[in-house]
Structure 1
Amino acid sequence: MNRHCSNTVYNYMTICTNVTLRTRYGHYEFMVMPFGLTNAPAVFMDLMNCRSYARFSKCEFWLKEVQFLGHVVNSEGIHIDPAKIEAIKDWDTPKTPTEIRSFLGLAGYYRRFISNFSKIALPLTKLTQKSEPFIWEQKQEEAFQTLKQKLCDAPILSLPDGCDDFVVYCDASH
């Protein structure tokens, strides 16, 4: 497995369009390509096609595993970063809808590791609606603890072994 520092490429791509960010402190205009723009990957791909090269000193080769965007990728497959699992274990019971949204945001990022995620999270999701009063009951506590447990015991996502028979279960809950 190889890794190179391609995220700094965004800092070298100057942009011509007016990309601004409005906050209560004022307007901020980007001078270089920010992360998250819709066309940024296409521009990045054009740079690669024009033979843009990575700096050798920032590249790493023959790694056993790579941490990438909250995941660990190795020869076994993809699994949740252990640092995130520790954060999930230490997560206190939410007291407000905002705290529930924060937890569901983290849990939702890893939803592909949990079958029937939407069904499990439904009692929590209902509490985030403005029309619902915030009343934490047993079913919300069970949903919260179930999500925590399933995230901490999440399986490793890997490619199937082509030699054996396998069954595909489709999860349309997301």
Structure 2
Amino acid sequence: TKSIVYTDHKSLQYIFNQKELNMHQRRWFELLSNYECEIKYHPGKANVVADALSRKERLKPRRVRAMSMTIQSGLKARIIEAQKEAVKDLKAPSEGLQGLDA
């Protein structure tokens, strides 16, 4: 069965009749020659649905600022301090905690 292909690319309707083709047209010719089809021109503006789908939505790009944040946790210092206090309460030597200062 022969299919009808509607396109808004006007030169495609004459692609099978042209003697010389540029590279872009050759690619189309190679693709379409595998099918039994008739190509008819249909202006893009007349085909509202396809025209709307083929248009990309143009959004203004958002500006993004680089940001860095350093989070310092006092957890390690609080643990070491609590350990020192616990050792003082036990009246044990605090030599084992040397070098653990933050």
Larger RCO: 1 or 2 (CA < 8 Å, sep 6+): 2
Say which one has the larger Rg. Answer: 2
- If the length of structure 1 is used for normalisation, what is the TM-score? 0.16
Q: TM (normalized to structure 2)?
A: 0.23
